[in-house]
Amino acid sequence: MFERFQANARQVVVQAQEEARSLDHDYIGTEHLLLALLRQPDSVGGRILTRHGLDHDRARDMIARLLDASAPDRLDAQALEAIGIDLDVVREKVEAVFGRGALDRERRPRRGKPWFLGGDHIPFSGRAKKVLELSLREAVALKHNHISDGHILLGLLREGEGLAARVLADSGLAFDSLRTEIRSELA
């Protein structure tokens, strides 16, 4: 499939990996594909998203908030608070006894060579793989023999359930009109 990717689509994949790495994520998700599209303001996908008021910084902030709101620690804290336990007070007491940062998680070491030596591959999430598969289907449906960044954006819209779709929906973007606009520009 990647042999059909045009340069701008390949760049989206490369930049998605960079976005995942910069956010310290150990996977490439739909959100990283969206951020990578927004890094290319002159491409079909980047141009359309920017025209609708979504830029890289805004999308990244929304992603951070959505991930933070659904983080297990936050959910655990809310559950404990519901039964009268203040997790911040517990943390303070633990740190008073065991030292500052006693409850902080250690970073998991990554296996293999560092990324700049060609190692440290970051895998695609199931949803991100689905988006890339759907981008191929979108290209075939449009009778294109290549996959561009616009097809990847169509794949994100068609997948419709990942974090990227949530960011697009929360930004007030109408998926059907976006699809029409993208297909028009790809024609």
Q: How confident is the model at residue 74 (pLDDT cuts 50, 70, 90)?
A: low
Lowest mean pLDDT among 77-81, 94-98, 105-109: 105-109
Over residues 124-174, the pLDDT tens digits come to 988 999 999 999 999 999 999 999 999 999 999 999 888 899 988 998 988
Scanning the chain, the segments in alpha helix (DSSP H) are 7-22, 30-38, 44-51, 56-69, 72-82, 87-98, 126-141, 149-159, 163-170, 175-186
Q: How far apart are CA 36 and CA 16, in angstroms?
A: 5
pLDDT > 50? residue 98 = yes
C-alpha torsion angle, residues 22, 167, 49, 37 (rounded to 10): 30
Q: How confident is the model at residue 120 (pLDDT cuts 50, 70, 90)?
A: low
Structural domain boundaries of the chain?
A: 2-67+125-186
- How large is the average pLDDT for residues 60-68? 83
pTM, two decimals, is 0.73
Over residues 26-58, the pLDDT tens digits come to 889 999 999 999 998 888 988 899 888 888 888
CATH classification number, 2-67+125-186, choose in 1.10.3720.10, 3.40.50.11290, 3.40.50.360, 1.10.1780.10 = 1.10.1780.10
